[in-house]
Amino acid sequence: MVLADWRKMVQAQQARFVTASLAEGARFVRAVGEACSDADQVPELRLGATFVDVSSRDEAVAEQISAIAADHGLTADPTAVAQLEIALDTADLPEIGPFWAAVLTGTTDSFKGNDILDPTGRVPNLWFQGTSPHSTPRQRFHLDLWLPPEVVPDRIKAGLAAGGTIAYDDEAPAFTVLADPQGNKVCLCTAEGR
């Protein structure tokens, strides 16, 4: 099921609901909290002055939240969601993964598979992209910016207008790699085509 208010990012569905005030957002957050507190997958909410961002791994919960938003007269802005993920190229994940997990989250327990996921959401996800062994210097870090699919063409256009180039787009719309004028790269990622 695809929900109109939501966009799939790297780990979860995300939505932004627009509010007229902090108080209106707080009322919405409270209603969601009361309705979803017993869900198997409790949603994460972030309250701002004129918006509430919601992340949910459960589509049924996401659908319930959209219904609550409609009851509160709120509209969604699905093009406003984004998630930043940092990628590190490595030929030896077991050697460096525990270090990055400990530094970024305080524990090696957050290192699972090819990812370091901060359960508190304080730092962006770090994932490790397998590569062949190589000598330094070679680009090792790049950013993965997860966006709604309909936002990506405008971001590409803006990046090109600002001096960037398309480095790789053979797997678009799943991801398109842009390079800045010095060759540093960013992947614009979507859930489409994966």
% the chain with pLDDT above 70: 97
Domain CATH number, residue 50: 3.30.70.600
User: pLDDT at residue 37 above 50?
Assistant: yes
The alpha carbons of the chain give a radius of gyration, in whole angstroms, of: 19
Residues in the chain: 194
Pick the last residue of a domain from 57, 80, 103. 80
185 domain residue, yes or no: yes
- Residue, of 194 and 14, whose pLDDT is higher: 14
* Domain containing residue 47: 7-80
Count of domains in the chain?
Answer: 2
Give the residue among 63, 57, 176, 62 at the shortest CA–CA distance from 117.
Answer: 57
- Contact predicate 177/166, CB 8 Å: yes
- Residue, of 181 and 193, whose pLDDT is higher: 193
Amino acid at 29: V
Longest dimension (CA), the chain: 58
Provide the whole-model pTM.
0.80
For residues 49 and 141, state if they share a domain.
no
| 81's tokens | 């969601």
CB neighbours of residue 194 within 10 Å: 10
For residues 123 and 149, state if they share a domain.
yes
- Contact predicate 145/187, CB 8 Å: yes
19 domain residue, yes or no: yes
Amino acid at 14: Q
Tell me the β-bridge partners of 112. Answer: 115
Distant-in-sequence, close-in-space partners of 3: CB < 8 Å, separation ≥ 6: 13, 15, 59, 62, 63, 66
Residue range 126-174, pLDDT digits in tens: 888 888 887 765 667 888 889 999 999 999 999 999 989 999 999 999 9
Pick the last residue of a domain from 54, 80, 106. 80
User: Please, which pLDDT band fits residue 1 given cuts at 50, 70 and 90?
Assistant: very low
22 domain residue, yes or no: yes
Distant-in-sequence, close-in-space partners of 30: CB < 8 Å, separation ≥ 6: none
Give the residue among 75, 46, 40, 54 at the shortest CA–CA distance from 12.
Answer: 54
The pLDDT of 70-99, averaged and rounded, is 91
Pick the last residue of a domain from 49, 80, 111. 80
